[in-house]
């Protein structure tokens, strides 16, 4: 089922959480809503779920084309997974999963044995059937997350909403679980929105990424689109490391045939891996810089350079082999060239 939001506004007192947000999530897609904390992404998710309501008269929420703006959460058929799981602490895992079925009206409610059977099947689906009798406090973070997912699926939701689903987990579990979620989504094909502040997570598993900032949508696109063609400086900075430089200094550093997008007065954004290094006496286009710091652990070497003319600091990432070819040490002079830059008018500045 597709999800649409049109012109959603939401204020909490004087704070504007959402300032006219439009969103379209096509049927069956896995969409990430990505943004820093305070960007309004969780509020948007809660409004879609019906846990919050948009400011009166400001916008509509449509599920599969039907207006659900005034329908309460319980009747929207939404599966919601909370950041801190919100499992019922006094119920066993099995009873947690069965809850949504047990609270149904009598005529819609399956018989008790059927409820338990359904709950067991959902626990199998999330590979936790062995833990049915445990209590939430006896589970690890990743297990709790999957129980919360099974519980949300028990009511046969038409959409799945996940609020920072991996936010409270340690790095290794988080990586495993997000791949598992991607496979899981491919199996069940349920329209899913998940909220995250982790760009790596969003870019890795989402079909589409919605980037939010200060209550507005900055950009929507596939992970590759938003990464390769950021439409605003915010998006550029938010998705990965970036050097922000004044333009004139770099105008001469462009490699012949490089992207000549730099304007005379705009700011220039360069990703660290889009800068290449050459011996200082190599000649040709490029800027002189001094190596200030060298960090060679890991697959790539990271260098901090200081431009000789402007004293601007530039972060550069090169392969280990490229670095060993140059034979650089701290305080050496080097020539840097830029493969790809992107400029924005200055009044776009963040």
Contact residues for another protein, defined by CB under 8 A? 49-51, 72-76, 78-80, 82, 84, 86-91, 99-100, 102-104, 135-138, 148, 151-152, 154-155
Q: Which is nearer to another protein, 161 or 253 (CB)?
A: 161
Q: Give me 152's structure tokens.
A: 């949300």
Provide the minimum distance between the beta carbon of 86 and another protein in the complex, in angstroms, as a whole number. Answer: 4
Strand partners, 99: none
Contact 250, 341 (CB under 8 A): yes
Provide the minimum distance between the beta carbon of 125 and another protein in the complex, in angstroms, as a whole number. Answer: 17
Provide the minimum distance between the beta carbon of 100 and another protein in the complex, in angstroms, as a whole number. Answer: 4
Provide the minimum distance between the beta carbon of 83 and another protein in the complex, in angstroms, as a whole number. Answer: 8
How many residues does this entry show for the chain? 350
Contact 27, 20 (CB under 8 A): no
Provide the minimum distance between the beta carbon of 91 and another protein in the complex, in angstroms, as a whole number. Answer: 8
Q: Give me 250's structure tokens.
A: 């770099």
Query: What single-letter DSSP state applies at residue 50?
Result: T
Q: Which is nearer to another protein, 33 or 152 (CB)?
A: 152
What is the SS3 assignment for 11?
strand
Q: Give me 200's structure tokens.
A: 């790596």
Q: Give me 214's structure tokens.
A: 């200060």
Query: Minimal CA–CA distance to 31: which of 196, 213, 200, 150?
Result: 196
Q: Which is nearer to another protein, 100 or 272 (CB)?
A: 100
Q: Which is nearer to another protein, 51 or 253 (CB)?
A: 51
Provide the minimum distance between the beta carbon of 176 and another protein in the complex, in angstroms, as a whole number. Answer: 24
Provide the minimum distance between the beta carbon of 4 and another protein in the complex, in angstroms, as a whole number. Answer: 20
Q: Which is nearer to another protein, 153 or 181 (CB)?
A: 153
Q: Which is nearer to another protein, 72 or 133 (CB)?
A: 72
Q: Provide CB contacts within 8 A for 61, sequence distance 6+.
A: 3, 4, 5, 6, 8, 47, 48, 54, 67, 68, 69
Provide the minimum distance between the beta carbon of 90 and another protein in the complex, in angstroms, as a whole number. Answer: 4
Residue burial 236-251, b: 16+ Cβ < 10 Å; e: rest = bebbeebbbbebebbb
Neighbours of 130 (CB within 10 A): 10
Give the separation between CA 150 and CA 184, rounded to whole angstroms: 12
Q: Which is nearer to another protein, 92 or 340 (CB)?
A: 92
Q: Which is nearer to another protein, 80 or 238 (CB)?
A: 80
Q: Cα angle at 76 between 71 and 77, to 5 degrees?
A: 165
């Amino acid at each position: 089922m597709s999800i649409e939001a049109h012109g959603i506004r939401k204020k909490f007192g004087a704070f504007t959480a959402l300032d006219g947000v439009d969103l379209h999530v096509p049927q069956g897609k896995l969409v990430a809503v990505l943004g820093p904390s305070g960007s309004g992404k969780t509020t948007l998710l809660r409004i879609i779920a019906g846990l919050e309501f948009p400011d009166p008269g400001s916008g509509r929420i449509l599920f599969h084309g039907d207006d659900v703006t005034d329908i309460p959460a319980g009747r929207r058929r939404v599966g919601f997974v909370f950041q801190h799981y919100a499992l019922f602490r006094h119920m066993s895992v099995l009873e947690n999963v069965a809850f949504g079925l047990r609270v149904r009206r009598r005529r819609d409610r399956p018989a008790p044995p059927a409820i338990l059977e359904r709950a067991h099947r959902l626990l199998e689906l999330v590979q936790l059937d062995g833990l049915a009798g445990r209590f939430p406090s006896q589970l690890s973070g990743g297990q709790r997350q999957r129980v919360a997912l099974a519980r949300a699926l028990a009511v046969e939701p038409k959409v799945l909403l996940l609020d920072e689903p991996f936010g409270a987990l340690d790095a290794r579990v988080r990586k495993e679980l997000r791949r598992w979620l991607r496979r899981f989504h491919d199996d069940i094909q349920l329209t899913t929105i998940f909220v995250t502040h982790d760009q790596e997570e969003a870019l890795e598993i989402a079909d589409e990424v919605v980037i939010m900032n200060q209550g507005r949508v900055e950009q929507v696109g596939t992970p590759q689109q938003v990464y390769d063609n950021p439409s605003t400086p915010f998006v550029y900075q938010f998705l990965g490391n970036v050097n922000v430089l004044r333009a004139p200094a770099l105008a001469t550093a462009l490699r012949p045939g490089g992207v000549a997008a730099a304007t005379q007065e705009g700011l220039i954004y360069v990703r660290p891996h889009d800068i290449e290094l050459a011996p200082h006496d190599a000649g040709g286009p490029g800027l002189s810089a001094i190596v200030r710091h060298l960090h060679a652990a890991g697959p790539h070497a990271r260098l901090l350079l200081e431009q000789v003319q402007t004293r601007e600091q530039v972060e550069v990432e090169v392969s280990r082999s490229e670095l060993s070819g140059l034979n650089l040490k701290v305080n050496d002079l080097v020539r840097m060239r830029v493969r790809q830059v992107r400029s924005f008018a200055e009044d776009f500045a963040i």
